[in-house]
């Protein structure tokens, strides 16, 4: 079974009644299936469709990811409040598990060092990450539980 969630792939949600066509990269080196059966859906308004276990797989994954982004956002907010240096941010994220949010911050920290960001540009980059993480977390949590 493949879980495909447009929110997790930074794509626009699919509106109820709409359709989508996607390339099936995961089948690039194997025969493509004759058909794909959708077993659960979460619409933009938060309504769900499908067997509770299948819907919960999608919803629980969203809750887990939202918590990861909220955790990273909390650290970023603390750093902004206390005017941390790049080294302090690196220390704060050093022992964190490799989640998407943590990887994004680590990549940004490395990129800002290599690009020679000024302190103001660095602060702006951390604020940008914070804003995006908060928005992403809110979007992931905007579903009605079944």
Judge whether 69 and 101 are in contact, CB under 8 Å: yes
Q: What is the pLDDT of residues 30-55, one digit of tens each?
A: 777 677 777 888 777 777 888 899 88
Residue at token pair 């604020």: 127
Q: What is the tens place of the pLDDT at every residue in 114-142?
A: 898 999 999 999 999 999 999 999 988 87
Is pLDDT at 61 greater than 90 in this prediction? Answer: no
Q: What is the pLDDT of residue 129?
A: 98
Provide the pLDDT for residue 141. 84
Supply the pLDDT for residue 46: 73
């Amino acid at each position: 079974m493949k879980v495909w969630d447009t929110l997790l792939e930074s794509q626009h949600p699919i509106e109820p009644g709409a359709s989508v066509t996607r390339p099936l990269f995961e089948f690039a080196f194997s025969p493509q299936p004759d058909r794909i059966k959708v077993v659960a859906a979460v619409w933009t308004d938060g309504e769900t469709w499908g067997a509770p276990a299948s819907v919960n797989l999608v919803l629980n994954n969203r809750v887990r990811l939202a918590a990861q982004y909220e955790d990273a956002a909390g650290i970023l907010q603390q750093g902004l409040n206390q005017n941390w240096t790049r080294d302090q941010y690196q220390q704060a994220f050093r022992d964190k598990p490799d989640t998407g949010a943590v990887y994004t911050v680590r990549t940004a920290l490395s990129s800002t060092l290599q690009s020679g960001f000024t302190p103001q540009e660095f602060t702006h980059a951390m604020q940008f990450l914070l804003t995006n993480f908060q928005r992403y977390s809110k979007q992931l949590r905007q579903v009605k539980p079944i």
